């Protein structure tokens, strides 16, 4: 069963006769939930909905995430579904309304049109079908009149998934799982592009970054770094030279680059990584918040992951092991059936590209220093990158 619903309209906009888009938690009623679930679960009858309320702070800066339980029957058997509805939240947005709408559109398009194709390719190889790297999405659309978006997804919290509290860095094992999830995304998207013959930027709506906004964030981040480490004047001067928002934004949109590009999560740091544990051992990962999907070399996602989510020990002592695991999982995701460009991508090439793209990881961390404050682990990582001759 394909548990993702593909909206028939390429614009992913709700029209009269289609499922309405809730404007608030008050609109999440049994009849509406039944409409949503029946597209994937025929014959389901929802008799009651218990709205739990917003998910806690730190798990959705750009949307209002409402948790709810739906109960009813299907084929005569009692059913209970733990779900969340991600709704556009104009009251607490952190960016201009038009940009917020664009971010929403990226994720709605991704869940509506791209994910079903990735899932179909995943199901061709039983080793990739379970676990998948993102939550089930039953419905995603936007109301063209109010520009409010909704995504109805499984509630990962009720399955034991959680975000690490207080933005704690990921352990070696957690990094392994996350790198494997990125490998699935990268490998499957590469297969999809080559099999369809259509460049992914023509198939997917990608996130955009305004250089002036990114530049403002980077300037604030550099100031924060200077305040945290006033003795590191030389390192700050080097960072000021390479953390060039205009240059990075142009590079990200460079369609003439000869490097192989794949779909990147684009915002893969601890706040967007949900991890499941069994007896304190991490066993599975789901990636959430896909509003800034990108088309970039694979090592851009990995560089961001390390610089924004790893501690110094993992970066310095376990980096090669994590990259080797990623490389193995990437080859698994590519599969043996068809010749693909990334199948000839060696582990040594991956390591070399990762080193070079660590500058993008530094840029990503500096841009996010409003929430990812600089610490001694980050300082030591930057000092090591400086030792590579990149700064």
Q: Which residue has the higher pLDDT, 386 or 92?
A: 386
**What's the Cα-to-Cα distance from 107 to each of 39, 61, 124, 137, rounded to whole Å?**
20, 14, 24, 11
Question: What's the confidence (pLDDT) of residue 142?
Answer: 87
Helix/strand/coil for 342: helix
Please identify which residue in the block is written with the tokens 């390591």: 351
Q: Can you give the pLDDT at residue 335?
A: 80
213 or 294, which is more confident? 294
Residue 245 and residue 215 in contact, taking contact as beta carbons nearer than 8 Å: yes
Distance CA 104, CA 290 (A): 9
The 10s digit of each residue's pLDDT in 183-225 is: 999 999 999 999 999 999 999 999 888 888 889 999 999 999 9
Give the closest residue to 299 by CA, choosing from 337, 257, 338: 257
Count Cβ atoms within 10 A of the Cβ of residue 185 and give its class: 0-12 exposed, 13-18 middle, 19 or more buried: buried
Rg of the chain, C-alpha, whole Å: 21
Which pLDDT does position 14 carry in this prediction?
A: 43
Report, as an integer, the average pLDDT of 143-157. Answer: 89
Taking alpha carbons only, the member of 387, 385, 333 closest to residue 362 is: 385
Q: Which positions ≥6 away from 348 have C-beta within 8 Å?
A: none
Which run of H or of E encompasses 177?
helix 172-196
**324 phi and psi, to 5 degrees?**
-65, -40
The pLDDT value recorded for residue 10 is: 34
Domains of the chain, each with CATH number or no CATH: 25-156 (3.30.200.20), 160-387 (3.90.1200)
Terminal Cα-to-Cα distance of the chain (whole angstroms): 50
- Mean pLDDT value of segment 353-359: 96
Residue 148 has pLDDT above 60, yes or no: yes
Please tell me the predicted confidence (pLDDT) of residue 158: 94
Quick one: average pLDDT of 312-321? 98
Q: Is the pLDDT of residue 289 over 90?
A: yes
Number of Cβ within a 10 Å radius of residue 212? 10
**Average pLDDT for 173-188:** 97
Q: Does residue 12 surpass a pLDDT of 70?
A: no
Show contacts of 92-100: CB within 8 Å, 24+ apart: 92/64, 93/62, 94/61, 94/62, 95/62, 95/213, 97/147, 99/210, 99/213, 100/62
With bands split at pLDDT 50, 70 and 90, how would you rate the model's confidence at 6?
very low
Is residue 348's pLDDT more than 50? yes
**Stretch 44-51: mean pLDDT:** 96
Q: Which residue has the tokens 């090669």?
A: 320
- Mean pLDDT, residues 332-357: 89
Token pair of 115 as six digits: 């994910």
What digits encode the pLDDT tens for the residues 220-272? 999 999 999 999 999 999 999 999 878 888 877 766 678 899 999 999 999 99
Residue 329 pLDDT class (50, 70, 90 cuts): very high
**Where is average pLDDT lowest: 116-125, 166-175, 234-243, 282-291?**
116-125
């Amino acid at each position: 069963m394909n548990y993702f619903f593909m909206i028939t309209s390429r614009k992913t906009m709700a029209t009269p006769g289609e499922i309405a888009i809730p404007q608030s938690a008050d609109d999440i009623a049994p009849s509406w939930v039944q409409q949503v679930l029946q597209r994937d679960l025929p014959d389901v009858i929802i008799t009651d909905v218990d709205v739990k309320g917003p998910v806690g702070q730190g798990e959705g800066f750009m949307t209002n995430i409402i948790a709810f339980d739906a109960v009813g029957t299907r084929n005569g058997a009692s059913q209970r579904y733990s779900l969340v509805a991600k709704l556009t939240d104009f009251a607490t947005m952190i960016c201009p309304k038009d940009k917020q709408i664009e971010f929403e559109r990226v994720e709605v398009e991704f869940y509506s049109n791209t994910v079903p194709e990735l899932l179909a390719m995943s199901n061709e190889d039983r080793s990739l079908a379970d676990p998948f790297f993102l939550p089930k999405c039953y419905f995603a659309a936007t109301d063209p009149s109010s520009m409010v978006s909704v995504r109805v997804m499984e509630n990962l919290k009720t399955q034991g998934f959680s975000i690490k509290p207080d933005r704690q860095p990921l352990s070696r094992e957690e990094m392994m799982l996350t790198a494997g999830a990125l490998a699935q995304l990268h490998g499957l998207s590469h297969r999809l592009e080559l099999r369809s013959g259509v460049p992914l930027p023509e198939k997917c709506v990608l996130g955009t970054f305004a250089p002036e906004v990114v530049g403002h964030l980077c300037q604030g981040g550099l100031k924060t770094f200077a305040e945290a480490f006033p003795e590191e004047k030389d390192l700050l001067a080097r960072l000021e030279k390479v953390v060039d928002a205009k240059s990075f934004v142009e590079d990200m949109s460079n369609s003439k680059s000869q490097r192989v590009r794949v779909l990147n999560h684009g915002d893969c740091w601890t706040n967007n990584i949900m991890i499941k544990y069994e007896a304190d051992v991490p066993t599975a990962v789901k990636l959430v918040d896909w509003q800034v999907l990108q088309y970039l070399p694979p090592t851009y996602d990995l560089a961001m992951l390390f610089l924004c989510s790893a501690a110094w020990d993992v970066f310095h002592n376990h980096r090669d092991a994590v990259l080797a695991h990623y490389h193995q999982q990437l080859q698994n995701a590519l599969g043996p059936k068809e010749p693909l460009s990334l199948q000839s991508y060696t582990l040594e090439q991956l390591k070399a590209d990762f080193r070079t793209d660590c500058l993008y990881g530094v840029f990503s961390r500096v841009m996010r220093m409003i929430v990812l404050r600089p610490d001694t682990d980050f300082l030591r990582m930057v000092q090591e990158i400086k030792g590579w001759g990149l700064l």
